[in-house]
A and B are shown apart, each in its own frame.
Chain A
């Protein structure tokens, strides 16, 4: 309830119409979760979700670094970093493998 109040409290800053749309999305997602009854996730499903979360957080972090101009100051172009390409491709292959194995 505190979290909800905190999120709603940002509507004055982020735009009230935007948060009305956010309301519709969140409630729709909430309705979608009802579809899965007796939700006992297998360990592989949990691993897949965790991996996806970590990778998503990593990319958000990289993006925030880019936005803060830290990388641009160092004259690095994020899309040309080969390590990221490898990581990206590896992750996608890994996810596909995990999903097929379920």
Chain B
């Protein structure tokens, strides 16, 4: 129970803080135009690491059986505990590297306030002010709200896919032996193809808002094919297309969120985005849906995401929030710069203007 609680908090941090740090660091280093490229490389590297980690974990788990440390205790080592021990080492290296190689950055309340570190903290308010203000900011700003709903719908579908691809391919028959390691590796290679394709789209001056509509559309059709196809090969091919969409999704959404979410509340808003996502996953797990129903639900959610993304794209274009130079994919103006929207927030504690990268 304690392990799950710690793991849950850590997962929230994993999907928000790293990204928030990266965007602010690009901003500080005047490398905004390379943000999309960095996300693309991160997604590519992530897929390679996933394959390597899977192979290491598999070998480590079968290296030697689980054994008691002392006879009188119920502490064990070996067997399925080995991958956890290896990940512990990786985490120590990760924490130490961040501590020694990275510079600290905070939620910045304005482009001109680059000396926040000299003040010690990003905002002068109380520790809970960021979460409180981020909540109301997300509610009041349509673009932030839409971005959150879209990412929750896509990532929710992604998690449901993770739980359901095995029973979908085996047809629920436990006797069917498939090369699951090879299939997983194929999915990861498809992810790599997706993240590499993102770089090509950026070089062709595609706008991330437009690209996202296509990604969600392809993902939706893929999920509906997985749900309806009777042939396992057809299902597998559709799953690969979905994985390509996943590979494209991470850099696209990372870049888009970089331009929509204000820098001062970035980590807080990214964390709020995870709440509806978790509800979608919980719903899927608690209702114990069949693979066909799950993938139909995913297809429907992704179709809704496509429609909402189209709406968001129109809003962004109409508001002029999308930069002409789409090579970066990052706008010069944040949706949250709207002074009317920010007025009540300022009275809630922040006395600075908010702006995104």
A residues bordering B, Cβ < 8 Å?
Answer: 1-40
Residues of B within 8 A of A20 (CB): 13, 17-18, 21, 94-95, 98, 102
A36 contact set on B, CB distance < 8 A: 74-76
Partner of B270, one of A8, A14, A27: A8
Give 1 or 0 for each of B1-26: 1 = CB within 8 Å of chain A CB: 01111111111111011101100100
Contact with A along B47-87 (1 / 0, CB 8 A): 00000000000000000001000000011110001001101
Interface contact A10-B75, CB-CB below 8 Å: no
Residues of B111-147 at the interface with A, using a CB-CB cut-off of 8 Å, are: 121-123, 125, 127-131, 134
Q: Does B306 contact A (CB under 8 A)?
A: no
Chain B residues, Cβ within 8 Å of A11: 13, 16-17, 20, 107, 267-268, 271
Interface centre among B6, B92, B102, B127 (most CB of A within 10 A): B6
B-side contacts of A4, CB under 8 Å: 8-13, 271, 274
Chain B residues with Cβ below 8 Å from A7 are 9, 12-13
B89 to chain A, nearest CB (A): 9
- Check B130–A12 contact: CB distance below 8 A: yes
State whether A27 touches B271 (Cβ < 8 A): no
Q: Does B285 contact A (CB under 8 A)?
A: no
- Best-buried of B130, B134, B282 by chain A (most CB within 10 Å): B130
Indicate whether B37 reaches chain A with its CB closer than 8 angstroms: no
* 0/1 interface trace, chain B 159-179, chain A, CB 8 Å (1 if under): 000000000000000000000
Nearest-CB residue, chain A, relative to B7: A30
| Given A17-B21, A20-B95, A21-B99: A5 in contact with B12 (beta carbons within 8 A) | yes
CB B79 to nearest CB in A, in angstroms, measures 10
Query: Given A20-B95, A28-B88, do A6 and B131 touch, yes or no (CB 8 Å)?
Result: yes
Question: Which of A12, A16, A26, A40 lies in contact with B6, CB distance below 8 A?
Answer: A26
The distance from the CB of B274 to the nearest CB of chain A, in whole angstroms, is 6
